A and B are shown apart, each in its own frame.
Chain A
Amino acid sequence: MRIPCPFCGPRDSQEFSFLGQTGLKRPDPNAPDAQKQFHDYVHIRDNKAGLTKELWLHANGCRSWIVVERNTLTHEITGSEFASPLTKEAAQ
Chain B
Amino acid sequence: MKNSNRLASGGLIDRAKPLSFQFDGKTYQGYAGDTLASALLANNVQLVARSFKYHRPRGVLTAGSEEPNALVELRTGARHEPNVRATMAELYEGLNARSQNRWPSLAFDLGAVNSLLSPFFAAGFYYKTFMWPAAFWEKVYEPLIRRAAGLGKPPLSDDPDSYEKAFAHCDLLVIGAGPAGLAAALTAARSGARVILADEGPMLGGRLLSDRRIIGNQSGLDWVKAIEAELGSFPNVRIMPRTTIFGVYDHGVYGALERVNDHVATPPAHEPRQRAYRIYAKRAVLAAGAIERPHVFGNNDRPGVMLGSAMRTYLNRYAVVPTKRVAIFTSSDEGYATAQDLINAGASVQAIIDSRKDATISAPKDVPYFKGAKILRALGNRQVQGVEIELADGSTRILDCDGVAMSNGWNPAVHLTCHQGGRPVWDDKTNAFLPGKLPAGLSVAGAAQGHFSLKDTLTDGFRLGASAVDDLGFKAHAIAAPDTDPESLAHIPLWRVKTSKGKCFVDFQHDVTDTDIELANREGFRSVEHMKRYTTLGMATDQGKTSNISGLAILGEASGRSMAEVGTTIFRPPYTPVALGALAGHHVHKGFRPTRLTPSHQWAEEQGAVFMETGLWLRAQYFPKKKNESWLDAMNREVEITRSKVGVCDVSTLGKIDLQGKDVGTFLDRVYTGTFSTLPVGKVRYGLMMREDGFVQDDGTTARLSENRWLMTTTTAGAGKVMAHLEFCHQVLWPELDIAFTSVTEQWAQYSIAGPHARDVLKKLVDPQHDMSNEAFTYMACGAITICNGIPARLFRISFSGELAYEIGVPNRYGDALIRAIMKAGEEFGITPYGLEALSTMRIEKGHVAGGELNGQTTPRDLGLIKMVSQKKDCIGKHMSERPAMLDADRPIFVGLKPKNPQAKLTGGAHFLDKGAKPSLDNDLGHMMSVAYSPMLKSWIGLGIVKRGRERIGDTIRAVDFVRGTEFEVEICDPVFFDPQGERLRG
Contact = CB atoms under 8 A, between A and B. Distances in A.
Contact of B735 (A59, A63, A85): A85
Contacts of B253: 1-2, 12
Given A1-B249, A1-B253, A65 B879 contact: no
A75 B882 contact: no
B874 interface: yes
Interface in A9-65: 10, 12, 17, 19, 22, 26-27, 29-30, 34-35, 38-39, 41-43, 55, 57, 59, 63-65
A1 to B, nearest CB: 4
Contact of A42 (B251, B735, B880, B882): B880
A64 B724 contact: no
Interface of B: 249-253, 278, 280, 440, 692-693, 724, 727-728, 730-733, 735-736, 874, 878-880, 882-883
A29 B876 CA distance: 10
Given A29-B874, A86-B736, A75 B250 contact: yes
Nearest to A17: B724
B731 A84 contact: yes
Contacts, number: 65
A74 to B, nearest CB: 8
Of B278, B730, B731, which is in contact with the most chain A CB atoms at under 10 Å from its CB?
B731
Q: Majority SS of interface residues in chain A?
A: mixed
A17 B727 CA distance: 13
Contacts of A65: 727-728, 731-732
B251 A1 contact: yes
Contacts of A1: 249-251, 253
Contact of A83 (B249, B251, B731, B880): B731
B692 A42 contact: yes
Nearest to A38: B879
Contact of A2 (B252, B727, B733): B252
A33 B278 CA distance: 50
Given A2-B251, A35-B882, A35-B883, A63 B874 contact: no
11 contacts: A1-B253, A2-B253, A2-B280, A10-B251, A12-B278, A29-B874, A35-B879, A38-B879, A42-B880, A75-B251, A83-B731
A77 B250 CA distance: 10
Contact of A34 (B692, B731, B733, B879): B879
Nearest to A82: B731
A63 B731 CA distance: 10
B735 A87 contact: yes
A57 B731 CA distance: 10
B402 to A, nearest CB: 53
A43 B735 CA distance: 23
A41 B728 contact: no
Contacts of B728: 19, 55, 57, 65
Nearest to A4: B251
A55 B732 contact: yes
Contacts of B730: 84
Contacts of A41: 692
A88 to B, nearest CB: 9
B724 to A, nearest CB: 6
Interface of A: 1-2, 10, 12, 17, 19, 22, 26-27, 29-30, 34-35, 38-39, 41-43, 55, 57, 59, 63-65, 75-77, 82-87
Given A2-B253, A65-B728, A26 B733 contact: yes
Contacts of B878: 29
Most B Cβ at <10 Å: residue of A17, A35, A55, A77: A35
B250 A84 contact: no
Contacts of A59: 724
Nearest to B876: A26
A34 B874 CA distance: 11
A5 to B, nearest CB: 13
Contacts of A55: 728, 732
Contact of A57 (B249, B250, B727, B874): B727
Given A1-B251, A63-B727, A86 B880 contact: no
A76 B732 CA distance: 24
A27 B876 CA distance: 11
Contacts of B693: 42-43
A30 B724 CA distance: 26
Contacts of B883: 35, 39
B356 to A, nearest CB: 43
Contacts of B252: 2
B880 A84 contact: no
Contact of B732 (A10, A39, A84): A84
B880 A38 contact: yes
A57 B724 contact: yes
A63 to B, nearest CB: 6
Nearest to B882: A35
A30 B735 CA distance: 20
B248 to A, nearest CB: 12
A89 B252 CA distance: 31
Nearest to B736: A86
Given A55-B732, A59-B724, A85-B735, 17 more contacts: A1-B251, A1-B253, A2-B251, A2-B252, A10-B251, A17-B724, A29-B878, A29-B879, A30-B874, A38-B692, A39-B883, A42-B880, A43-B693, A55-B728, A57-B727, A57-B728, A63-B727
Contacts of A82: 731
B731 A64 contact: yes
B667 to A, nearest CB: 14
A39 B731 contact: no
B168 to A, nearest CB: 13
Contacts of A57: 724, 727-728
A63 B278 CA distance: 23
A2 B250 contact: yes
Contacts of A10: 251
Contacts of B250: 1-2, 75
A59 to B, nearest CB: 7
A72 B285 CA distance: 26
Nearest to A43: B693
Nearest to A2: B251
Nearest to A89: B735
Nearest to A75: B250
Contacts of B732: 22, 55, 65, 83-84
B372 to A, nearest CB: 49
A37 B143 CA distance: 56
A84 B735 contact: yes
A4 B730 CA distance: 22
